Amino acid sequence: MKKTLLAVLLATASTCTLAADQQQVTVSLTSASTMAQGMAMVLANQMQEQGAQVDILLCDTAGDIALKGATGEALKPNNVTPAQLLDGAIKKGATASVCALYLPNTGHTAEDLRDGITAANPAKMGASLLEKDRKVIGF
């Protein structure tokens, strides 16, 4: 019984250490360019596959890919849109939000956002961006 309990505790501690060591990345996307949006989402997905926890912040016209029914131009070579790539990242555990200015300045509401996407809280986002080991990448 003691050996089993010790094994469980060691496994839990190892898992917690791995989670704490996981690279934190914020991808900030403001570009209206479909290709820039696509590349940002491709890299977000790649970073996730390599073990990073990715948070995606969408501002200005890039926020449009967060809307329900967002379409857009499919990009080669995989014929996927930035919105589809965003959905893929969210399904793999990325968080996604539109900047706090997006909804009130576009006439959209939180109900217009795709599932899993919220409006960012400026205080929480600011604190996140200041985290010592966080990488912040802008497109």
Q: Would 53 be classed as within a structural domain? A: yes
HEC-encoded secondary structure of 76-99 = CCCCECHHHHHHHHHHCCCEEEEC
What percentage of the chain has pLDDT greater than the value 90?
A: 85
Q: Would 110 be classed as within a structural domain? A: yes
What percentage of the chain has pLDDT greater than the value 70?
A: 86
Domain count, the chain: 1
Q: Would 16 be classed as within a structural domain? A: no
CA distance 104 to 122: 14
Residue 8 near residue 53, CB atoms below 8 Å:
no
Q: Would 76 be classed as within a structural domain? A: yes
Least confident range of 7-11, 66-70, 71-75, 96-100:
7-11
Q: Would 2 be classed as within a structural domain? A: no
Helix ranges (DSSP H) in the chain: 2-21, 34-49, 82-91, 102-106, 122-129
Residue 62's φ and ψ, nearest 5 degrees, are -65, -25
Q: Would 9 be classed as within a structural domain? A: no
Q: Would 7 be classed as within a structural domain? A: no
pLDDT tens digits for 72-117?
999 999 999 999 999 999 999 999 999 999 999 999 999 999 999 9
For residue 35, give the CATH number of its domain. Answer: 3.40.1260.10
pTM for the model: 0.85
Q: Would 4 be classed as within a structural domain? A: no
Residue ranges making up the domain that contains 56? 23-138
* SS3 category, 57: strand
CA distance 120 to 109: 13
